[in-house]
Amino acid sequence: MSRVWHRHPVLFTQLRGFGVVAVICTVVSMLIFAGLRQSLGTQWANAVSLALCSVLNTELNRRISFGVHGMHLWWRDQRRGLWVMLLALAMTGGSLWLLHDLSPNASIVAELVVITLGNVASAVTRFLLLRYWIFRRLRSRGMAASPATGIG
């Protein structure tokens, strides 16, 4: 581990947890999207999969990335997580719209790639919003917000 990570172990732990959660939620979201795409169309399947995964994403990030356990402020965290999901929805929905504008008969593989790239593009902003908006209370209390602390 580099010196930067030794000086910022909490940030390293949060980023590592965020990466694990991102992989889990991306796989779940893609499965939901693929299952709903035929019946709902691409934009609605994308919106439903992101909305459903938003709750999962916020909960997993609470526990794995930021070490928050218990129900204290759960509803507030989830509400804020839905706002963050709207950012991902704008990016992925816009990407799908652009894909279909350029290639009206795009395959499901192309759609999944575009959605994944849209999610990756919004991931940095999502992490910053989680860290500095949703879970800022952990920093303001002077607590080391890492999974090892069991905060909550």
Give the pLDDT confidence of 14-44 residue by residue, as tens digits.
899 999 999 999 899 999 999 999 999 999 9
Query: CA 11 from chain center: how many Å?
Result: 17
Cα–Cα distance, 24 to 137 (Å, whole number): 26
Residue 6 has pLDDT above 60, yes or no: yes
Residue 138 has pLDDT above 80, yes or no: no
Residue 140 has pLDDT above 70, yes or no: no
What's the whole-number mean pLDDT along residues 138-145?
A: 54
Whole-number pLDDT of residue 152: 38
Confidence category of residue 46, pLDDT binned at 50, 70, 90: very high
Residue 142 has pLDDT above 80, yes or no: no
Domain assignment of residue 68, given as a range: 3-149
What's the whole-number mean pLDDT along residues 137-146?
A: 55
Cα–Cα distance, 129 to 19 (Å, whole number): 15
Higher pLDDT, 52 or 9: 52
Give the pLDDT confidence of 65-86 residue by residue, as tens digits.
888 888 888 998 898 888 888 9
Give the pLDDT confidence of 77-132 residue by residue, as tens digits.
898 888 888 988 998 899 999 999 999 999 999 999 998 888 888 878 888 888 88
Count of the separate structural domains present in the chain: 1
Cα–Cα distance, 60 to 18 (Å, whole number): 9
Whole-number pLDDT of residue 129: 82
